[in-house]
Amino acid sequence: MKLLDCADIGKRPITEFDYLGEIRIPPSDADESTWADYVFNRNGAPGVLRERWYHRPTGRWFIFERDTLTDQIIGQVDASEVRYEEPHYEIPA
């Protein structure tokens, strides 16, 4: 069973985590195809993704760079690096 090596809580088994998938920033004022791409499409090819994991017992979030081919965790990313402004979207007139 895979271990996730996390700051503060050390190595915890993957079964204590919820997987929230790759970090995706919602685009502001996106046209229909850009928005549909954001909602549905994913970077599905094998490679390094920045993903969010939620550790249920502590309620803490962890962001890892993980190679989805080898399952190797390359590093942990600080939440501030992936923060984004609240998007906005005006109804087309």
Partner 1 sequence: MKFRLDPQPLEWIDRSESVSFRFEGQTFSGFSGDSLTSALLAGGQKLLGRSFKYHRPRSVLSMANHDVNALFQSSDATNIRGDVTPVSEGVDLRACNVNGTLANDKDRYIGLLSRFLPVGFYYKTFHKPKKFFPYWERLIREKAGLGEINTSWSATRQPKRYGFSEVLVIGAGPSGMQAALSAAEAGADVVLVDENPRIGGSLDYQLANEEAAAKVRADLKSRISNNAKIRLMEAHYAAGWYTDHYVPLVGPEGITKMRAEQVIMATGVMEQPSVFRNNDLPGVMLASAAQRLIARYAVKPGQRAVVLCGNDEGYRAALDLIAAGVEVAAVVDLERVGKRGEWAKQVQAQGITVLDHSAIYEAQGKGALSAVVVAPFNGKGCDAGKSHVIPCDLLLMSVGWAPAAQMLYQAGAKLGYASQAEQILPRELPQGIHACGRLNGAFTLEQRLADGSRAAREALAQLRGEAVVSELTVHRDTQSHSHPWPIIGHPKGKNFLDIDEDLQLKDLINAAKEGFDNIELMKRFSTNGMGPSQGKHSNMNGIRVLASVTGKTIDETGSTTARPMFHPVPVSALAGRRFRPERLTPMHQWHLKHGARMMEAGQWQRPEFYAPSTAAGAVTAAQREQSIVQEVQAVRSGLGLIDVSTLGKIEVMGPDAGRLLDVVYTMKMSTIKIGMTRYALAVDDSGVIIDDGIVGRIAEDRFYVTATTSHAAAAFRTLSLKIQELGLNVRLANLTGSLAAMNLAGPASRKVLSALTDVDLSEESFPYLGMREGTLLGYPVRLIRVGFVGELGYEIHLPANAALEVWEKLMDVGSAHAIRPFGVEAQRVLRLEKGHIIVGQDTDGLTNPFEANMSWAVPLKSKPWFTGKPSLARLKNSCERRLIGFRLPQGFSPKSSSEMPKECHLIIQDGEISGRITSIAYSPSLGRIIGLAMVDLPLADANVPMQVKVDSGAFVAIEPCATPFYDADGARQTADLTEVA
Partner 2 sequence: MNANASPEMSNLSLSARDDLSGYLLTGPVSAEALAGSGLPLPQSQLTALELNGALVARTGTDEYMAFVPVGQEWAGCEWCFPRNDRVLVVQGEGWIELMLQLCQFDFRKMQPGDWLMASVAGVNCWLYREQQGGALMIGFDAGYDHYLSEIFSTLVRELGGKDLTKGGAL
Partner 3 sequence: MPWRLLKFGLKSTHDEPRFFPEAKPLKSHYDVVIIGGGGHGMACAYYLAKEHGITNVAVLEQGYIGGGNTGRNTTIVRSNYLTPEGVKFYDTSLKLFEDLADDFDLNIFYSTRGHFTLAHTDSALRTMRWRAEVNKHQGIESEVVGREEIAKAVPYMDMDCAGHAPVMGALYHAPGSVARHDAVAWGYARGAYNRGVEIHQKTRVTAIRTQGDKVVGVDTDRGQISCNKVISMVAGSTPRITSMLGLRTPIEIFPLQACVSEPVKPFMDTIVVSGSLHVYVSQSSRGEMVMGASVDPSVLHSTRSSFDFVEGLTDQMLDLFPFMSRMKVMRQWAGMSDITPDFAPIMGKTPIDGFYLDAGWGTWGFKATPVSGKTMAWTVANDKTHELIEPFRLSRFADFDLVGEKGAASVGH
Minimum CB distance to partner 2, residue 15 (Å)? 7
Minimum CB distance to partner 1, residue 17 (Å)? 11
- State how far the Cα of 54 lies from the Cα of 61, in Å rounded to an integer: 5
- Residue 69 binding partner 1, by CB under 8 A: no
Token couple for 26: 């919602």
Angular region, 21: left φ>0, alpha ψ -120 to 50, beta rest? left
Token couple for 17: 């985590």
Minimum CB distance to partner 1, residue 6 (Å)? 14
Binds partner 1 by CB under 8 A, chosen from 7, 8, 15, 40: 40
SS3 of residue 75 by DSSP = strand
- Residue 5 binding partner 3, by CB under 8 A: no
Closer to partner 1 at the Cβ: 8 or 86?
86
